[in-house]
Structure 1
Amino acid sequence: MDLDLGGKVACVTGGSLGIGKAIAETLAREGASVVITSRRRELLEKTAAELTERTGGDVVGIASDTTDTASVRRMVAAAAERFGRLDILVNGAAAPSGLVRNTLAEADPDLLLDDLNTKVVGYFRCAQAAAARMREGGYGRIVNIGGLTGRSSHALSGLRNLAIVHLTKTLSDQLGPAGITVNTIHPGVVETEHIHELYEREARKQGTTAQAVEQGFIDRTPIRRVLAAGEIADLVAFLSSPRAGAITGESVGIDGGLTRGIFL
C-alpha cells in the first residue's frame, strides 16, 4: 500500500532508540523527511546518520528536552525552518515502563510527577507547538505512544497512559476542523534496548530469572512471541498517512492480544 508520505515532514520524539528509532526509520523509508529529537545529542546525531544511510532518506537530529516548553518550541521551529513545514508528530519521549512500578507505601511522589511531566505534559507541549505549524499546511497527524499499563492496574505509572488517552480525545475534537488527527497506540511487550531492563527488574521482584519473566509474557500473549519494534512503526506510519484521515480520537492496542480487556 502506498501511504503517500512522500514530501511529508515528521518529528519523532524519543527517536534515538527503541520504538522511536524504528518509527523514524519506517517513516523515512516511506518517503517522509524526519526529525528525531531527544536529550542526548551525541546519540541523536549518531542515530540520524545511521538512519539516513540505511534509508537513503533525510533524517536529522535536533536535541530538545520535552519537560522544557522553550526547548520544545525551539526544536519545532528549527524543524519547520529546516524543511519548510511540519506534518506529523509522533510523541514517544518518556521513561520506558514508567518510573513508579512499586507499591503505594514505597512509591515516590516526585518520580510520579516526573512521569507525568515528561510523558503527559511533554506530549502536550509538543502537540501545542507542532499543531500551530500543521494548521499552516492544512494537514496534520499526531500519534501518541501510550502503554498497556493504562489499561491495567499493574503499575502506578500507568495513570500517565490513561491521561494521554484523555488528551488524545480532547485534542482530536479541537484539531479535527483544521485537518489534524490525533490518535494513541498502546504497544505491548516489544523487543527494544530497554525491555531486558524490565525483565531484570521483574525477575528481582519475583525471585526468578529474566528469561522466565520474558517467557511468562510470551506464554500470556496469544501470538506467543514478543513484538518487533518495526510492527509498531508500521501502525504509526499508517496513522500518519492520508489514508487514515477518518481515524481520530482513538486508542489502539498493538500487543499480540496480551490485553484481555474488552474496549468499546
Structure 2
Amino acid sequence: MDLQLKDRVAVVTGGGMGIGKAVARELLGEGARVVIAARTVARLEAAARELHAETGGEVAAIAADTTSTESVRAMVAAAADRFGRLDILINGAAAPSGLVRNTLAEADPELLLADLNTKVVGYLRCAQAAEPFFRAGGYGRIINIGGLTGRSSHALSGMRNLAVVHMTKALSDQLGPAGITVNTIHPGVVETEHIHELYEKEAARQNLTSAEIEQGFIDRTPIRRVLAADEIAQLVCFLASPLAGAITGESIGIDGGLTRGIFI
C-alpha cells in the first residue's frame, strides 16, 4: 500500500529511542523527511545518524524540552525552516510508564504535575506550534502516543493518558475544518529500551523476577507475546497518511488484545 508520505515532513518528539525512534524509521522508509526531537542531545544525534544509515532518508535532530513553550516553538520553527514545510506531528515525549505508579500515601504530587506538564501540556505546546504550518500547507496530522494506563486504574499517572484523549477529541473538532486530523493511539506492552525497567520495578514491588513479570503480561495478552515497536510505527504511519483523512478524534488501542474493556 502506498501511504503517499513521500516528501512529507514530520516531527517526532521522543524520537531518540523506543517507539519514537521506530516511528521515525518507518516514516523515513515511506519517503518522509523527519525531525526527531528530545532533550538528550547526544542520544538524539546518535539516533539520527543511525536512522540515516539504515534508511538513507533525510533526518534531522533538534533538541527540545516539551515542558518549555519557547523550546517547543523554536524546535518546530527550525524543523519547518530546515525542510520548508511541516505536515505531521507525532507527540511521544513523556516519561515511559509514568512517574507515579504507587499508592496514594506514597504518591508524589510534584512528580504527577511533572508527568502532566511533560505529556499533556507538552503535547498541547507542540500542537499549538505546529498548527500554523499545517494550515499554511493545507494538510496536517497529529498522532498522540497515549498509553493503556488511561484505560485502567492501577497507576495514578494514567490520568495523563486520559487527559490526552480528551485533548485529542477537542482538537479534532477545532482543526478538522482545516484538514488537520488528531488521533491518539494506546500501545500495549512493547519491546523497547524502557520496558525492562518497568519489569524490574514491578518485580521488586511484587517480590517476583522480571522474567515472571514479563511472562505475566504475555499470559494476559490474547496474542501471547510482547509487541514490536515497528508494529506501533506502522499504525502511526497509516494515521499520518492521506489515506486516513476520515479518521479523527479517535483513541485506538494497539495492544494485542490486552485491554479487556469494550469501547464503542
Q: TM-score, normalised by structure 2?
A: 1.00
2:217 is the alignment partner of 1:212 = no
Cα distance between partner residues in 2 of 1:107 and 1:244:
40
Cα distance between partner residues in 1 of 2:147 and 2:238:
19
1:87 corresponds to which residue?
87
Query: Could you give the per-residue CA deviations for residues 86-125 of structure 1, whole angstroms, max 9, x where no partner exists?
Result: 0000000000000000000100000000000000000000
Cα distance between partner residues in 2 of 1:44 and 1:207:
35
Query: Could you give the per-residue CA deviations for residues 13-41 of structure 1, whole angstroms, max 9, x where no partner exists?
Result: 00000000000000000000000000011
Paired residues for 1:7-18 under 5 Å: 7-18=7-18
Cα distance between partner residues in 2 of 1:208 and 1:62:
40
1:260 corresponds to which residue?
260
Cα distance between partner residues in 1 of 2:194 and 2:163:
23
Cα distance between partner residues in 2 of 1:56 and 1:3:
18
Cα distance between partner residues in 1 of 2:124 and 2:157:
17
Say which SS state the counterpart of residue 246 (structure 1) adopts. Answer: coil
Cα distance between partner residues in 2 of 1:242 and 1:262:
28
Tell me the CA shift for residue 226 of structure 1: 0.1
Query: Could you give the per-residue CA deviations for residues 220-244 of structure 1, whole angstroms, max 9, x where no partner exists?
Result: 0000000000000000000000000
2:122 is the alignment partner of 1:122 = yes
2:104 corresponds to which residue?
104
Cα distance between partner residues in 1 of 2:92 and 2:145:
5
Count of aligned positions: 264
Cα distance between partner residues in 2 of 1:81 and 1:59:
14
2:248 corresponds to which residue?
248
1:64 corresponds to which residue?
64
Cα distance between partner residues in 1 of 2:230 and 2:6:
19
2:131 corresponds to which residue?
131
2:188 corresponds to which residue?
188
2:173 corresponds to which residue?
173
Tell me the CA shift for residue 139 of structure 1: 0.1
Structure 1 runs, 4 residues or longer, greater than 2 Å off: none
Tell me the CA shift for residue 7 of structure 1: 1.2
2:144 corresponds to which residue?
144
- Seq. identity, %: 76
1:159 corresponds to which residue?
159
Tell me the CA shift for residue 146 of structure 1: 0.1
1:224 corresponds to which residue?
224
Cα distance between partner residues in 1 of 2:15 and 2:94:
11
Q: Provide the aligned C-alpha RMSD in A.
A: 0.3
Matched residue type, 1:23: V
Matched residue type, 2:8: K
Structure 2: tracts of 5 or more residues without a match: none
Tell me the CA shift for residue 131 of structure 1: 1.0
Matched residue type, 1:247: I
Tell me the CA shift for residue 65 of structure 1: 0.3
Query: Could you give the per-residue CA deviations for residues 186-239 of structure 1, whole angstroms, max 9, x where no partner exists?
Result: 000000000000000000010010000000000000000000000000000000
Matched residue type, 1:141: R
Cα distance between partner residues in 1 of 2:227 and 2:6:
27
Query: Could you give the per-residue CA deviations for residues 120-145 of structure 1, whole angstroms, max 9, x where no partner exists?
Result: 00000000001111000000000000
